[in-house]
Structures are given as structure tokens and as C-alpha cells.
Structure 1
Amino acid sequence: MTVEPPVDLNTLPTAPGCYLYHDVDGTVIYVGKAKNLKRRVSSYFQRHDLDPKTEALVSHIASIQFIVTNNEVEALLLENNLIKRHWPKYNISLKDSKTYAYILRTDEEFPRFVVARDRDQPGTYFGPFTSGLERDYLLRALKHAFLIRSCRRLQKRACLRYHMQSCLGPCVGAISREEYAKQVCRAEAVLSGKGDDLIAALKEEMAARSEAEEFEQALVIRDQIQAIERLQEHQRVQRQKNYDEDVINYLVVDGTVYLALFNIYRGTLGQKEEYVFPFHQGFLDEFLVQYYADHPVPKEVLVPHEVDGSIAEFLGEMKGQKVGVTVPQRGDRKNLLDLVKTNIETQFFGDRIKVEELKKALHLPTSPGVIECFDISHLSGTAMVGVMVQFRDGRPDRKNYRKFRIRTVEGIDDFRAIAEVVRRRYSRLQREQKRMPDLIVVDGGKGQLHAAADELASLGLKVPLIALAKREEEVFMPGLSLPMPLDRRSKASLFLQQIRDETHRSAITYNRTLRRKKVVP
């Protein structure tokens, strides 16, 4: 069964984050997290083998909301928070108080770290942890960083974890009791919140090991330092506060204000609200008054710039106590403001931004509103085909995709195949006097680039042209001997990768279709 999605799936971001499904009454019926929001949400509406429960869920989805996060761990934490807040019908209901367990350092000769429901075992307890996801992530990270054993009983022979260098191997005497205890103490320091002191001590030990030319031990300590620093990376959606706060940011584009507000409850991101209205001077002051006249006033409101001093007095009157209206300049609060703006950009301007970023990165004379990308697919030189996909204003324009059976090439010759499809595509546009694209992309390296450039020159066309090589995501342009210095994680590079991947998918699909037709009698 397939159901028509309530949104254009191509408008969804490819960033990590959480998605919320609502029914016709606006009730949240499911909360999920994703490393790639577009790919994950699309899978619900494009698969034909959904289980009965998921089919029922999909049939009740009336609208979709998403919240972008900075990384997958933040998405995990946010998912947990949102589930606890909304208790969606189709999420798993946990009734065993799992999220309030402890981490126990066992009282053994070679101690372990385990999850404990009750404080009835000998050892040292850390917690309780109100987030089961955070607790489990921390436990795995500590075991991995300090190579703590996880087996319930010490075996008489080395286990797989020891051979994979994930355990110190006390079972086979690979480490003394004193050295193992040192690693356990380091893990306890992290759990006790003494990570900074531990990092300082480890850096001193690493320097001493290096000076003594004990480089292997120094590398182990370096890895431990990096692991502790990752653990200490403060999650912007799970900040420990004993009061509520709201975070407000906005963008003004073409005379319109796009504003988003995050409600933070006791340090936990609860929900996101979005507003669109015409721009006028003093709009933020007016919004604050109107919004908090009908909504609960938090103890603190974070805004991107100063507002009228009377606003804080008004909010204090509404709440019955002093309310802070703060403009953060650095740190976690500034990061929260930036996260709100990121969500605005993704929600309203994701396509426009990546197109403009590509223009800047490639130094193009105009914005590449229409991009056409070519790829060749074959199986050991057989069933060779070419495809062209078109992106218009940052989105795939499938009605303008084109497929080509290679006519003039025998055997394996991607360069001549690219030349053929480029020649056929743009000679036809010339004959029909249709608009040329703003940018042409070929999947490949310098060879494919030169083949396409020669064909464009023979047609008398001057259209910006690049080649994108798969292995290192390198971008080549005619006239440059070296690839362009493009950050692989930049919006421009990720956009090019999206275009290339869509072209590659289309080419493989067409190739398989032709081969299937040859096999079927």
C-alpha cells in the first residue's frame, strides 16, 4: 500500500533531526529521528512492504512537522524528549521506568559498568539518568574509550572483544589489576563530572609518554582524551536548567518576516512554532506582546537583538515575577539562537540557500536556477545508457529528465558516451530554440569534463560546466588543472552530491530496465 504524502517530499531537508506526524485533529501520533530527514520520511510513502502497524500509522498522517538538529546524537535526545512530552499513539510505550536507571560500577576484582534499576547491589552508583538514550550512549562510550570488560564472568580464554581491541583482557592476564583499576578510575572521573581534570592529567601523561618515545601508549591516551572531549560536548537540546525559556529568531526576506520560536522546558526542547507575516518597524516588540498575551511566559526569553525596555516589564507583569529578555553573544545560548535560524533557513529557504551557495562556490555569473547533470551506466560495456536529470530552483524536475541509448560507442568508453549524450541534448535544444541550462554537471573526472567541453565548443555554446568525481567529491572546471577548493561538508558541495546521486540512481535504474527487457522473452 502506498499513500500520497501530505507534503512535497523534495522540500524536506537532508539534515539530521526529528519528524512529527499529526492526524487530522493536529494530534502528534508519531515521533521519529533520522540521520537524513528526507530519506527517512520518504521511506514511509514509497515502500510497498510496510508492516500492518506502520500502514495504519501512514493512513492517519495528515501533516508533517520536522525539527533540524546539529547531529544525530542531538536528534536522539530530542526524540526522547518529544516522546515524553506528547506520548504519541504509534510510538512504543515504555512502562518499566527504564529512563530512570543508574550506572553501576560493580564491586569486583576487575569491575564492570552496567545499568542498574535498583540500588541493591554492592558497588558505586552514578545517576539516576532521566534520559535512557543519554545513559546508554554514555555507557557505550566509556566502555569503548577505556576498554572496560563487559562479560558477566571472567572466561578462561580471550573473547572476541579482546581480539577486536575493545577490551583490556583481564581474563587472560593481559593487564594487571593495578593498570585495570587505573582505567576504571578514569571512567569514574568522567561519570563524576571531573572530565576537565582528567583531560589535563592525561595530556601531561601523553606528553611524558611521547618524550619517553612510548608512542603506542601515547596514541592510546590521545584517543581517550578525544573520547572524553566528545562526551563533554554539550548537547544544545538537553541543557540542565531548572526553569523554562523561549528562544526566538527570524529572517526577513523580500519584505516578509519568517520567525520561529523554540519552547525550552527545564532545559529540554519541547516544541517549535513558526510564523510568517509582513515586515514593519518594531515587529519583534509587537510579536512579543501579542504572543505572550495568549501563551505562558517563561522565566527568560532569548532574542537576536535588543527590544524596547518596557517589554521585559510587560512580561514580568504577565508572569508575576521578573522575566529576563536576553541577547546572547556567545556560548550555549548563542548556539540555540543559531539553531533556530538554521531551522528557519531549512524550513523556508533550504532550496534557495543551496542554489546561492553553489553560485558563490563556483563563482558563477548568475544563480544556477536550472542545472542539468549527465551520467553513463553499463554492465561491462553492455546495455550502455546515458541519463540527464534536471534540477530547477534546487529541486528535481522529473518531467524534464531524459534517457539516452548510446548509439555511437561500442565497448567501454565513458568519455565518448558522455560526448554523445551532451551533443544530442544541446543540439536538439539549439534546433528547438529552447533555453539552455545555467549549469551543466557531468559525473566523473577530467576525462568526462574534457569530452563534454569539446562538444559544447563545437556547438558554439558557452554554458558553465563542471565535473564531479565520486571518490573525493572533487570538482573540476575547464581551464583549471587542479580541483576547486570546495569543502565537502559545505551546502554547495552537498547540493552537488545530491544532484550527482540522483543522476546515478536514474542511470542505474534505466540500465537495469533495459537488461531486464533483454532477458524476458
Structure 2
Amino acid sequence: MPTALEVQIKTLPDAPGVYQYYDKEDQILYVGKAKNLKKRVASYFTKNHENAKTRVLVKKIVSIKHIVVNSETDALLLENNLIKKYQPRYNIMLKDDKTYPWICIKKERFPRVFMTRNVVKDGSEYFGPYTNVRTVKALLDLIRELYPLRTCTYDLSQEKIDAGKYKVCLEYHLGNCLGPCENLQTETSYNETIKAIRNIIKGNFKQSLEAFEKLMMSFAEKMEFEEAQKIKEKVSLLSNYQAKSTIVNPTINNVDVFSIISDESYGYINFFKIANGAIIQSHTTEIKKKLDETDKEMLELAIVEIRQRFNSVSKEIYVPFEVDLGDNVKVTVPKLGDKKRIVELSERNAKYYRQEQFKQIKIVDPDRHVKRIMTQMQKDLRLSEEPRHIECFDNSNIQGTHPVAACVVFKNGKPSKKEYRHFNIKTVEGPDDFASMEEVVYRRYKRLLSEGESLPQLIIIDGGKGQLSSALKSLDVLGLRGKIAIIGIAKRLEEIYYPGDSIPMYLDKKSETLKIIQHLRNEAHRFGITFHRNKRSKSAIQSELEQIPDVGKQTITSLLRKFKSAKRVKSATFEELKEVVGESRAQKIFQYYNTAKK
């Protein structure tokens, strides 16, 4: 006998729509959209979900509701509205409670132009919203420099003006207003100014520039050079503003650009609005993943939400990959040229925003930052747990002498220098990197096991397949194979090798996981080389002192403890030597060096 839920799934229509999942308390859990409701909903109950949260969601579903719509576009819009209305626990949401500024051209005789955060449906024109107040103020300052406008709140009806109800104010005497309140400017002339302002706000500077240039030439022909100079300054002002704004091909007009950068837990979506080659709006938002959503799923939801929020009616959007937005919008994935560059610029903005968020998180919530990096490393390296404790091994035997090895330790992605260890190779004769690696890995973990110390979650071997195989032999002997993850990193192309797999893995060169692995490898190399250099240096000193007849190891140790170097022993006086090693040996050492000088 099928359950009520199974019956619901089987009877869903093969049509586009929106589905809603409810739990046993009739609380909404999740809202989703689908091209085919039956197929999409059934997939939740037939697939083995890798994401733990999705598995938990499916277990909680007790009932399903659905709404059939005409098209994918309708499904997208309805899904977005229902998510905002019900705020289900398992849906990503673009939360943004900020009020953004708009530029308003007021519906009135002789319209005022001003900034506002309140959109009133009174027939006035609103442009925006803008994501940056400075942008709005700069634009309004430009407009006021170019065009005289009234700022008063008078009701400038023709009757009141004719009745002489108003007098011009200081703004008129300063040249900032042409005095429509005393009939000194006609409504037609004022409306021409508003038309030019409307074009500038939309990013269309061409008509205003042409009009100013004609006016400038007219003044010049009439020998009114002072007026011509004023207009020239306005042309220069407008041209400079346009040059700053226009960053792409001016033929790219009335287009929205979207891009996304994501990591394990968050998506960062950037939005540009472009008019006449100028970015007139830019906004980046962060969304938290709830069910391991793909970039495509997050971007589709974000596009619908952001276009609604910012009142966009552009018929074309540029994106870095294909998205399903229905038939009302043309989706373009640029491959080259200016269009491609603008999408790359959008991606760069999303990356910068992500970096800024990380910097703030490091300061405000360092634990979240560590958790994010560890989760990313676990995913990138296909580990069963987060690599909170990592150890990296490197061999140093320059020119085959004094073979040594180094082990460096990272905790939570950072060096733990007090836990670094050096190893003198004891059981291997001559330069044999493979046997040396086998020895040090065995010694390191034999000791940790005997002392009851915690073991790392990840071991990194600086070397390719051969070095990795040698380290694995020691883990096998100690019974640690499979209990600690182990990988090798080859120097030349940064290939990462796994046990039993001859084909290496390549991480993204910019990934944080590779940067941490490189940091580990470089630390191990530095630490090993320093130890090797010190050992060689000490060996060279000792070998020089060993050349002195009848001087043994104990005497050499005493001399080095006092004088620190063979050079100082060589330049010491007989009395100084006598104090350290006695008269008989001092005589031999002093005589050896002084004879050598002659």
C-alpha cells in the first residue's frame, strides 16, 4: 500500500511549476522550481544524495504542495516570491534590508530633480536604485553644474505665477535657477532641460554634448566669448564624467551583467547595469548555501531577485555560463571582445568582494575563516575529515653529504613551529631519498604512537610516486595505512599523487588548498636546508680541528664551546687556549697554527 507522500509524487503533473515541501508540523521546509514537476520532485526520493543536509531534508518531508504555471519564467518569479514570503529553512535567500537611493524627477510643473530613499507611486519618474550614495551625489552635482533647476517646493501653477504670488530667491541671483516662479523661464524650455537630464541619468551623454557644442559655437560666432567659455567648461565637465563612466564599448546598451564566484559555503554574485557603455549600477551580494546548490542554481535565483530589487527591464543579460530564465530575456554567454571583458570585470568584482568578506571574517570571526578553509581542503583533496593537523616531510642531502630530513606541522592551516622536527638519517648509507623517507616516516609515527600523541589527519610527502610509496611502507608496518590520509606533491608541475593511483591530480593554481600545500612544502624545504647547512658548517669546523695531532673529540667540543669557531681558535693566544684545554694541549694547538702560518 503506497503512502500518502508516494501517491502525491506519482500524481504530480509533467508541467512547469513550483513545489513546496512541508514537515509533520505543516511547516514549510523548501520551495523549488521545475521544468517538469513530476521528474524534479521524484529525483529527491530516488537519488542517493551526497549532501548530508539534503538527506536530512528528504527525511523530514511529509507532504508536498505544487503550483502549475505557464512557463519557466513564471516558475522563477513565483519561486522567488514564495521564498521571500515564507523564508523556508532549506532555501538560500538574498537577504538585504537596506533601502537604496533613487533619483526622482518629480511629477509637477517645472519638475524638481533630487535624491530619495522612498519611492512614492504618484506618477513621478524614479531612476535606480543606486548601490552607492556617492554615485548619486556625483551625478546630481554634475546635473546642477550643467543645468539650472529649481529647488523650491512651491506649487508653480500658471495661475499662481500669473498672480505674482512668488518672488525669485537667492538661487536665481546665483545663476542656479532661471526663475520660472516669476515667468522668467517657459515650461517648454524647462522641459527640454529635464529631457536632457533624463538622458544623462540613463547614461546617454551624446545629445547633451551635441547641444552644448552647438550653443558654444553660436556664442563664439556672436563674439560672446565669455558665454562660450562657460559652455566650454560644461562640455569639458560632461566629457570628463563620460570618460570616467564609459569603460566598455558604447554600443553595449541597456544590458545587465551577472557573475558568480563560490566556495564550499557561500556564493558571491555581482551585478552590473550598463547603458551606452557605462556602468550605471554595480552591486555584489553574498548568499549562504543550504543544500550544496550549484553555481547555476544560485545565479538563476539571484538574477530574478536582483532584477526585481533594482527595477531592471533590460531585455538582454551577459553571464559566464548558460542559465535558464525563460523566453522574455535574451541570455548571452560572451566568448571574446568587449562583451567577454565586461563579464570578466564583473567576476573580478565578485572576487574582490569575497576577499574583503574574508578579511573582515578573519578579524571578527576567525573560527569561521578556519572552518571554511578546512572544509575547502577536505573537499579539494577528497578527504574523509577536515585536515586540522597536517605534517609534511622533506629530505635534504645536498651533494650526497650529511643526509637529513625535516617534518613541519600545520594546525588549522597555520605553521606550528614548536612542533617542527629534524631527523638525522641513521640506517641509510649514502644518498637514498626513498629509503631515507621510509626511515623518517617510520620514526616519526612510531614515536607519536608510543607517546600517545595525536596523529595528523593528512601527511604530505615532498616528492612524487617513489617518495610516496616509501612513506606508505612505513605506514603499513605501523598499521596506519588508511587511518591517516597521505599524498605526494611533485615539484615540477605541482602534481598531487594519491596511493595506488598513477594519474596525478592538478589543483587550480589560485586555490587556497594548493597555496597551503605549497606553504607546507616550502616550510619543510627551508627547515631542512637550514639544518643541513648548519650540520655541514659544523662538520667543516670539526674536520679542520681534527687535523691537529693528538687532539680528540672532547678537546674539540671544549674549544668550540668556548671560541664558537675554528677561526677564533686559530687566532687565540696561548694563554687563552691554556685556560680551556690545559698547557700540554694548548702548546700543540698553538704550535700547529703558528707553524702553519709560517
Coarse TM-score class (shorter-chain normalised) = 0.3 to 0.5
With structure 2 as the length reference, what TM-score do the two structures score? 0.34
Bigger Cα Rg: 2
Higher relative contact order (Cα pairs below 8 Å, separated by 6+ residues): 1
Q: So what's the TM-score if we normalise by structure 1?
A: 0.39
